[in-house]
Amino acid sequence: MAGHSHWAGIKHKKALVDNKRGKLWSKLSKTIIVAAKIGGGDPDTNIRLRTAIADAKAVSLPKDNIDRAIKKGTGELDGGNVEEIIYEGYGAGGVAVMCDIMTDNRNRTAPELRKLFEVNGGKLGSTNCVAYLFDRKGLFVVSNADVDEEAVMEVALEAGAEDIRQEREAFEIICSPEAYNDVSNALEAASISVVTKQLARIPNNTVDLDIQTARKVLKLVEALDEHDDVQIVSANFNISDEALSELAAD
């Protein structure tokens, strides 16, 4: 299983745990702030904001929180000094790692991420050290227990998806960032339940990991994802069926 889909599944399960909800809400609020800051506070004319609001509502972020985040982004309230940054580095086994960051203090975030990389067997790298290994795409993960492949393909391709892949117990739908909202709306209209969706960085190739290295890489990815300023973690690893079975038994 490729790193992006493997971690997407883990993130979804984490998001359902109540004691993680506050952290998830905080990250989604930052997404709304940045979207409103860049494109204005009207979701009817700001597609990015509309998507951020929909994602926030999907995990029950209260309307008051959404409204405050929009006002912070437009400057009506203080607290809108949030910027987007990308950090790149390497994990164990030479795995490429990219972190999409939203922070109000990059001087705090950078050393904190550097330490997380180092204590988990990795190294924070320079700008563009691994970016060339990834393509920016929309990613939707759909459980194959809920719908058959033909139905997924018909809906997704008609909406502008580029590719549909089967990854063990799920279908991965890949699309351009421009088609993200169309695909999302089409899946919703067809009542196809989406396990997780995001604008992700899809690797062009992957690094196969043994069980020991996989544990190290997953520990790093989890530690990065737990950081308040990290929105999305992308990595180009692949875990074999045998290693996955061992990990599931841990």
Residue 84 has pLDDT above 80, yes or no: yes
Own/partner pairs, 180-188, CB within 8 angstroms, 24+ separation: 180/51, 180/138, 181/47, 181/50, 181/51, 183/138, 183/140, 183/156, 183/159, 184/51, 184/54, 184/138, 184/140, 185/159, 186/155, 186/156, 186/158, 186/159, 187/140, 187/142, 187/155, 187/156, 187/159
Distance CA 103, CA 132 (A): 24
The per-residue pLDDT for range 2-33, each reduced to its tens digit, is: 444 444 444 444 444 444 667 888 999 999 99
Distance CA 79, CA 69 (A): 9
- Model pTM? 0.82
Give helix then strand counts, H and E, for the chain: 9, 10
59: its two tokens: 């995990």
Domain residue limits, the chain: 3-74
The per-residue pLDDT for range 199-237, each reduced to its tens digit, is: 889 999 999 998 899 999 999 999 999 999 999 999 999
Q: Does domain 3-74 have CATH number 1.10.10.200?
A: yes
- Look at the alpha carbons of 127, 133, 139, 143 in this order and tell me if their dihedral is positive or negative: negative
| All residues at 6 or more sequence positions from 244 whose CB lies less than 8 Å from its CB, including other chains | 1
Distance CA 152, CA 142 (A): 9
What pLDDT score does 19 carry?
45
The per-residue pLDDT for range 179-203, each reduced to its tens digit, is: 998 999 999 999 998 888 888 899 9
Beta carbons of 144 and 199 less than 8 angstroms apart: no
Of the candidates 37, 18, 41, 52, the one whose C-alpha atom is nearest the C-alpha of residue 232 is 52
Minimum mean pLDDT among 47-56, 92-101, 142-151, 239-248: which range?
Answer: 239-248
Number of residues in the chain: 250
